[in-house]
Amino acid sequence: MNVKTRIAPSPTGWLHIGTARTALFCYLYAKHHGGTFAVRSEDTDRVRSLPEYEEEILAGLKWLGLEHDEFVRQSERVSRHKELLETLVAEGTAYISEEESKSEAGKTVQVVRLKNPGKSVTFTDLVRGEITFDTADLGDFVIARAIDDPLYHFAVVVDDMDMEITHVIRGEDHISNTPRQILIQEALGAPRPKYAHLPLILAADRTKLSKRHGATSIADYRNEGFLPEAMVNFIGMLGWNPGNDREEYSLAEFVEAFELDGVQKHGAIWNREKLLDVNQQWMRKLSDEEFIAQGSLSSPDNSKLQKIVPLLKERAKTFAEARDMITGELNCLFTAPTLDLALLTSKSDATAVHLRALLELHEGLADDMTPDEIKALLMPYADGISKEEGGRGAALWPLRYALSGEERSPDPFTLISILGLEESRVRIQNALDILG
């Protein structure tokens, strides 16, 4: 069988994390089986659907690497929906009903209702097994507000039928929609696709993930500086288990491994801290040049920027954090510090003595030394200071503060390595001049 899946977002808002995860699973299942992945923009809500939302949704899917093979816009299919509504009415499986408008008192409208046979409907869910509904309670339900204005259930069935969708993979909140859609399929003589309902993505409090829990759109995370590879890796493991302890997958590796029998039945918990860790792992895989380019990083001194990339990889979990570090605690590397005498001398009354001794040792350093090599030459002096005299902090604190002018900064050996011998010597001497 040729597999064809679809993701059908409504362009009434940004691309939600849950929709993105569903799109990923649809894409993975189709590609794993050599099939087709389609995107259908369900834009028939004429008030709330906006072109900019559709553009953002498509951009978000592309950013994740989920390139579609087919694109359909539901609003362009209204004539087809009307044609089949008229066919059902003509055949007697649906009828037009004159009813009082719910929005305008005293006004009547013509809605289209499906004649419900009131039978039990059973379908096999590829995640949850056999599910049965008694449709008698649904009555003759409305399938169109007017003959040219179909409701969601009818339009979805017609579009899936015409697009030849073989597998409908969607969130578990759509399970209750399935019996209505099966009755419509039977009225139209449409083939029944296979269904797979995915567990919802839940917040830590086990409620449905929403804006009150933080960012929920792909655009938010993209703007914050997350990598698409990390986002795919993270959401791909939400509600799916490969059957082993492996946690790192690229999109191509997911395609190779993905099957619906790995989808779990219980809700998947959204964990931002875990996402940050996953993102940092993928950031660290980048070369220094890729890191700078993908993070859109810039500074007044490109040579220093190159030198601080290892620091950024060690500390930053998003590119937004990396950019903040460059303009924040690492800005001292690009701007000469302004020192506070009280802070400079806060660890020892012998600050000047220690800085002079360290400056003498500094003369023995070479430009190509690593932070560890610089530490090997300077640290013995600091280790030799007794606890009564303040210990190693009596020397290392004023050295780091003299180099950075910040209470929080990288260690002094890293600072010297990045600043270079000449600039670091000038900064130490400047601190000594302040001390008199």
- SS3 of residue 111 by DSSP: strand
Query: What region does 225 belong to: left with phi over 0, alpha with psi -120 to 50, or beta?
Result: left
One DSSP character per residue, 131-163 reads EEEEGGGG-S-EEEEETTEE-HHHHHHHHHHHH
Contact 52, 276 (CB under 8 A): no
Half-sphere exposure of 174 (CA within 13 A, CB side): 20
Alpha helices in 316-435 (DSSP H): 319-327, 341-344, 351-362, 371-383, 393-404, 412-419, 421-435
Contact 348, 390 (CB under 8 A): yes
One DSSP character per residue, 17-57 reads HHHHHHHHHHHHHHHHTT-EEEEEE----TTT--HHHHHHH
Q: Which residues are catalytic?
A: 211
Using alpha carbons, select from 48, 56, 58 the residue that is nearest to residue 12: 48
For the record, the structure tokens of 388 come out as 């009564």
Using alpha carbons, select from 205, 183, 202, 200 the residue that is nearest to residue 192: 183
Contact 371, 417 (CB under 8 A): yes
